[in-house]
Amino acid sequence: MALTIGDTAPDFEADTTEGRISFHDWIGDSWAVLFSHPKDFTPVCTTELGYMARINPEFERRGVKIIGLSVDPTGAHEDWVRDIEETQGHAPNYPIIGDADFAISKAYGMLGADVSGDPSDRTAADNQTVRNVFVIGPDKKIKLVLVYPMTTGRNFDEVLRVIDSLQLTADHKVSTPVNWVPGEDVIIAGSVSNDQAREIWPDGWEEPKPYIRIVPAPETRVGEGAAAK
């Protein structure tokens, strides 16, 4: 079954390019991004892994760990890492999970339960559904799921933007409007009554409609609050 927002991210043990991990223990008190790939040595994924290495400091500033997954053994990943560094200018500076038995892809609803056999006998097209991004909170709950086709490279700047929103709204009783970026106005959460809102925002708010109550974004710094939990 496909995982949805609010589900607990399945725990697992697996070999990675940085050694064996137990996933929930590896996340610890951090946030995490798990992004998956259908096969090693695929062109779009090569660009994605290189870009994630380049912007990893931005995730680290937000208290977020990143980890890749590909449906091949870790030995193949190690060869792929050299290609990524050569072609993208950045080698992955985060672990990449080996999922040669498809167990993690199945647990995360990216491959059917009937998939089996030698991963080297399968093409990227056979595994094309293994193209997900999962953002996972410190509580091990899934906060975001993105699914991309093989032909479209993922926008990891958008993942950073969503994490900024997730961490802000986890700490404050607000929501973020369309195309929001840090520093822009936010919306008072619908769960907050007007009486409660007056206590939090004594200067009031802009109200184009009774259900749209706009206030300045709370003053926070990246890496504080929910990002550091």
Catalytic site residue from 14, 32, 45, 168:
45
- Per-residue burial over 79-92, b if 16 or more Cβ lie within 10 Å, else e, is ebbeebeeebebeb
CA atoms in the 13 A half-sphere facing the CB of 227: 19
How buried is 4 (Cβ within 10 angstroms: 0-12 exposed, 13-18 middle, 19+ buried)? exposed
**Residue 105: what residue type?**
S
**Terminal-to-terminal C-alpha distance of the chain:** 29
Helices 43-61/156-171 angle, 10° precision? 30
Assess whether 169 carries a catalytic annotation: no
Contact between 50 and 81 under an 8 Å Cβ cutoff? The reply is no
**Catalytic residues, which ones?**
45
